[in-house]
């Protein structure tokens, strides 16, 4: 069962955090892109995507993240990801996202390393 995606934005120090809860698909990907654009407009250089362990991400959702990752390189932003399930950590590695973003087990671990 596909569930909607809740996207919230918050700041911790100089890190802009985008929380994602629900399913990342072609339909909900636009909300993630909008959140990323807001972060960029705010001048964020450090962006952390925090996933809920129960997130589902399909191929279109991964494509959204690939696009954001590519744009973040042009914007000289550092992207980190936290909270992914082991399954999606493997998927991110298989599609090559881990060459450009770092995955952490928790939000706190990611924030410590920024």
Cα 9 to the center of its chain, rounded Å = 11
Alpha-carbon distances of 74 from 24, 37, 69, 71, 82, rounded to whole Å: 23, 13, 9, 5, 22
**β-pairing verdict for 15-21 and 46-51:** parallel
Spatial distance between the Cα atoms of 24 and 27, rounded to a whole number of angstroms:
8
**Confidence at residue 71, expressed as pLDDT on a 0 to 100 scale:** 96
Residue 73's Cβ-side half-sphere holds a number of Cα atoms within 13 Å equal to: 9
Domain limits, the chain: 6-113
pTM of the model: 0.92
Model pLDDT, residue 3: 65
pLDDT of residue 21: 93
Q: How far apart are CA 41 and CA 21, in angstroms?
A: 23
Please tell me the predicted confidence (pLDDT) of residue 2.
52
Dump pLDDT digits (tens) for 29-42: 999 999 999 999 99
CATH superfamily of 6-113: STAS domain (3.30.750.24)
Stretches in the chain below the pLDDT threshold 50: 1
Confidence at residue 54, expressed as pLDDT on a 0 to 100 scale: 75
């Amino acid at each position: 069962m596909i569930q909607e995606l809740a996207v919230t934005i918050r700041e911790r120090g100089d890190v802009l955090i985008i929380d994602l809860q629900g399913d990342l698909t072609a339909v909900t990907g636009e909300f993630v892109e909008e959140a990323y654009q807001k972060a960029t407009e705010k001048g964020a250089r450090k962006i952390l995507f925090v996933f809920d362990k129960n997130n589902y991400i399909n191929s279109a959702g991964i494509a959204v993240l690939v696009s954001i990752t590519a744009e973040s390189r042009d914007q000289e932003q550092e992207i980190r990801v936290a909270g992914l399930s082991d399954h999606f950590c493997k998927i991110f590695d298989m599609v090559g996202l881990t060459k450009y973003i770092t995955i952490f087990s928790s939000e706190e671990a990611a924030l410590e390393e920024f």
